[in-house]
């Protein structure tokens, strides 16, 4: 399930493909090979490399790191551990950065982690209205929708409608708590463990945890937009 | 600044459009922009807050319509020009024409894994005691800085509750101007939907922001 082709979480296995023609989701300039953007980027890159400010091998290492090593499976492992280990869960909620580091994750974009827990009474939703702040070490780079105006504008004023667009219908009695990432704190949602999962081990539980469940726009193992 | 980036509470952008099977990058040039921005950020010619300020200073119409890596690219071009690392004629020519300016560091491939696994923490020694405590009612000031700020418009003038005190952090408004880090206490302040959006708001909604001490003052009035 970690690489369910219906999921929008799959990543590392197909990163060599050029996706520039595969997507039409209303964002201009995602680029065809001969686009003006492509030409401008190539020009700037060659200048910066030629002047010695940028090492091409370092660029390759950055791309490789964020395309193949860092993604929401990291966060899913954190969530699954918290589900099976109450002491870990307590540490995670008290000091997210340190508890996530216990599992070997951390660094750029996750220097100061705050983990917030969903309950039947309260559902958490994470947004960055001002840019694209997102917990890279546990979720990877953010999806386009997270960085785009529809989500950034509406998550804080009409989150229930936004959740409905993700197929998440919460009970009317469940309060919604939105975290706007306006400082260098990065937020990850600890979703509720789904019912009927008592027999699953930690690895199987991690497979239920979607990226969206850790942003708050999904629920774990809930099918639909899982 | 009250720029195109300050989107919270705006309307009219339409529904959120998640993409099934979304790749990390949608085109090769996006990969290159991502890596260029991170590598150039390491040179010390500017900092993360200055990069955000450069993105936010795009024309609001351009900001709202551009794809995210297009915004990154245009801001990167502005920054290399502003810091004297590249000249306009070089961009036009697509080639280096003058000798490079000195930079503090150049990121090497073998530095990427250890540096990015460690990260770049922005917590600092507190400049003094915290002015506010958990449970305090505070108002976000009504301010309209023309430079970089991380206080979104939708909370300005509103009253909320201090819910967490996080310690001192680099103050983005100063750091973006390369004027020093000027650390300040950082708080989580929680506002009710009623307070932010009025009577039509979802009664079960609260919204928290990370707010620096100078953004806040003792509550001017009770929160809704």
Express as a percent the part of chain B with pLDDT over 90. 98
**Nearest CB to A111; choose among B25, B77, B122:** B122
The alpha-carbon gap from A91 to the nearest alpha carbon of chain B, in Å, equals 16
Q: What is the pLDDT of residue A203?
A: 97
CB contact under 8 A, A185 and B210: yes
pLDDT at residue B2 greater than cutoff 60: yes
Average pLDDT over residues A103-115: 97
**Nearest CB to A110; choose among B23, B119, B154:** B119
Average pLDDT across chain B, whole number: 97
List of residues 6+ apart from A104 with CB closer than 8 A: none
Spot the catalytic one: A20, A32, A46, A131. A131
Among chain A residues, CA nearest to B213: A183
Contacts of B5 in chain A (CB under 8 A): 130-131
A13 vs B: CB within 8 A: no
Among chain B residues, CA nearest to A3: B21
Contacts of A181 in chain B (CB under 8 A): 210
Residues in chain B: 224
Contacts of B76 in chain A (CB under 8 A): 44
In the residue annotation, A199 being an active-site residue is answered as no
Cβ atoms of residues A72 and A9 within 8 Å: yes
**Nearest CB to A15; choose among B10, B24, B211:** B24
pLDDT at residue B213 greater than cutoff 50: yes
pLDDT digits (tens, 9 = 90+) for A126-147: 999 999 999 999 999 999 999 9
Name the pairing type of β-strands B123-124 and A186-190: unpaired
List of residues 6+ apart from B144 with CB closer than 8 A: B2
In the residue annotation, A46 being an active-site residue is answered as no
Q: What is the pLDDT of residue B15?
A: 96
Express as a percent the part of chain B with pLDDT over 70. 100
- Long-range residue pairs from B173-178, CB within 8 A, at least 24 positions apart, any chain: B173/B49, B173/B145, B173/B147, B173/B148, B173/B149, B173/B212, B173/B214, B175/B47, B175/B49, B175/B50, B176/B47, B176/B49, B176/B50, B176/B52, B176/B53, B176/B147, B176/B148, B177/B50, B177/B53, B177/B147, B177/B148, B178/B46, B178/B47, B178/B50
Average pLDDT over residues B86-107: 97
Is the ipTM reported for this complex over the cut 0.95?
A: yes
Q: pLDDT-derived band of residue B223, with 50, 70 and 90 as boundaries?
A: confident
pLDDT digits (tens, 9 = 90+) for A13-26: 333 444 444 444 44
Q: What is the pLDDT of residue B220?
A: 86
pLDDT at residue B90 greater than cutoff 90: yes
SS3 content of chain A, % helix, strand, coil (to 5): 40, 10, 50
pLDDT at residue A53 greater than cutoff 70: yes
Express as a percent the part of chain A with pLDDT over 90. 82
Q: State both tokens at A226.
A: 């899982």
Contacts of B113 in chain A (CB under 8 A): 61, 65
pLDDT at residue B71 greater than cutoff 60: yes
Cβ atoms of residues B112 and A62 within 8 Å: yes
Phi–psi pair at A139, nearest 5 degrees: -120, -10
List of residues 6+ apart from A129 with CB closer than 8 A: A152, A153, A155, A156, A180, A182, B6, B7, B8, B152, B154
CB contact under 8 A, A108 and B34: no
**How many C-alpha atoms does B161 have within 13 Å on its Cβ side?**
9
CB contact under 8 A, A58 and B109: yes
Q: State both tokens at B190.
A: 């929680």
**Nearest CB to B65; choose among A28, A61, A152:** A28
Average pLDDT over residues A186-200: 96
User: Could you give the C-alpha distances from B91 to A40, B48, B96, B214, in angstroms and in order?
Assistant: 8, 23, 8, 40
Q: pLDDT-derived band of residue A33, with 50, 70 and 90 as boundaries?
A: low
Q: Which of residues 110-169 of A touch B (CB under 8 A)?
A: 110-112, 127, 129-132, 137, 140-141, 143-145, 147-160, 162, 165-166
């Amino acid at each position: 399930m970690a690489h369910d082709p219906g999921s929008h979480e799959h990543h590392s296995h197909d990163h060599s493909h050029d996706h520039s023609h595969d997507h039409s989701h209303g964002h201009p300039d995602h680029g065809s090979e001969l686009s003006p953007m492509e030409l401008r980027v190539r020009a700037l890159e060659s200048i910066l490399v030629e002047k010695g400010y940028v090492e091409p091998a370092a660029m390759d290492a950055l791309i490789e790191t964020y395309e193949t090593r860092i993604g929401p499976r990291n966060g899913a492992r954190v969530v699954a551990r918290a589900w099976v280990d109450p002491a870990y869960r307590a540490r995670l909620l008290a000091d997210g950065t340190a508890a996530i580091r216990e599992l070997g994750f951390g660094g750029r974009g996750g220097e100061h982690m705050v983990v917030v827990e969903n309950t039947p009474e309260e559902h958490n939703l994470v947004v960055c209205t001002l840019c694209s702040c997102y917990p890279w070490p546990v979720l990877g780079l953010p999806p386009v929708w997270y960085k785009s105006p529809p989500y950034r504008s509406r998550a804080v004023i009409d989150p229930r409608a936004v959740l409905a667009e993700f197929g998440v219908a919460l009970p009317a009695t469940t309060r919604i708590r939105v975290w706007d990432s306006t400082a260098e704190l990065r937020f990850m949602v600890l979703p509720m463990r789904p019912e009927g999962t008592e027999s699953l081990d930690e690895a199987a539980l991690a497979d239920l945890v979607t990226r969206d469940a850790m942003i708050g726009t999904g629920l774990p193992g809930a099918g639909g937009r899982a | 600044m009250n720029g195109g980036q300050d989107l919270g509470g705006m309307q009219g952008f339409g529904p959120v459009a998640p993409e099934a099977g979304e790749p990390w990058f949608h085109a090769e040039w996006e990969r290159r922009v991502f890596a260029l921005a991170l590598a150039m950020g390491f040179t010390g010619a500017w900092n993360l807050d200055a990069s955000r300020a450069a993105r936010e200073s795009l024309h609001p119409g351009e900001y709202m319509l551009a794809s995210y890596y297009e915004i990154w690219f245009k801001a990167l071009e502005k920054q290399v020009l502003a810091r004297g690392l590249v000249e306009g004629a070089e961009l036009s020519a697509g080639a280096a024409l003058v000798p490079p300016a000195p930079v503090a560091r150049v990121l090497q491939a073998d530095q990427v894994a250890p540096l990015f696994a460690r990260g770049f923490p922005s917590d600092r020694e507190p400049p003094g005691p915290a002015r506010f405590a958990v449970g305090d009612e505070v108002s976000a000031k009504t301010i309209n800085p023309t430079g970089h700020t991380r206080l979104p418009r939708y909370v300005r003038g509103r009253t909320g509750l201090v819910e967490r005190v996080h310690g001192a952090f680099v103050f983005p408004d100063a750091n973006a101007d390369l004027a020093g880090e000027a650390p300040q206490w950082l708080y989580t302040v929680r506002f009710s939907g009623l307070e932010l959006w009025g009577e039509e708001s979802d009664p079960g909604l609260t919204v928290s922001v990370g707010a620096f001490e100078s953004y806040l003052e003792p509550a001017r009035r009770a929160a809704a």
